[in-house]
Amino acid sequence: MDHRPPEDAPEPATPPTPEPATPPAPEPGAPRRWRIDDLARETGCTVDTIRYYQREGLLPPAERDGRHRIYGPEHVERLERIRDLQGRRFSLAAIRALVSGDEQRLEGIFTDEDERFRYTFPELVERSGASAELAEVLRESGVLRDPVEFGRVAYDGDDLDVLRAMATLEQAGIPVKVIRAIGRIYAEGIEATQRRIVDTFGFGGDLEWAPGELDEFRRVAAASATALLPSMRRLVDYTHHRTLQRLTLDAMAQGASPPGDPDATGELDLAPDA
For residue range 26-35, list pLDDT tens digits in order: 555 556 888 9
Provide the pLDDT for residue 207.
93
Provide the pLDDT for residue 176.
95
Beta strands 63-65 and 68-70, pairing class? antiparallel
Domain ranges for the chain, please list them: 36-87, 111-204
Confidence grade of residue 15 (pLDDT, cut at 50, 70, 90): very low
Length reported for the chain: 274
Q: Indicate whether this model's pTM tops 0.75.
A: no
Residue 21 clears pLDDT 60, i.e. is over it: no
CATH topology of domain 36-87: Multidrug-efflux Transporter Regulator; Chain: A; Domain 2 (1.10.1660)
Confidence grade of residue 175 (pLDDT, cut at 50, 70, 90): very high
Taking residues 219-230, report their average pLDDT. Answer: 80
Confidence grade of residue 128 (pLDDT, cut at 50, 70, 90): very high
Residue 183 clears pLDDT 90, i.e. is over it: yes
- CA 72 to chain CA centroid, Å, is 27
Taking residues 209-236, report their average pLDDT. Answer: 86
Taking residues 248-265, report their average pLDDT. Answer: 68
What is the residue-averaged pLDDT of the chain?
79
Taking residues 60-89, report their average pLDDT. Answer: 85
What Cα–Cα distance (Å) separates residue 246 from each residue in 4, 6, 187, 189, 267? 111, 111, 21, 18, 18
Q: Are 162 and 172 a contacting pair, CB within 8 Å?
A: no
Comparing 72 with 227, the larger pLDDT belongs to 72
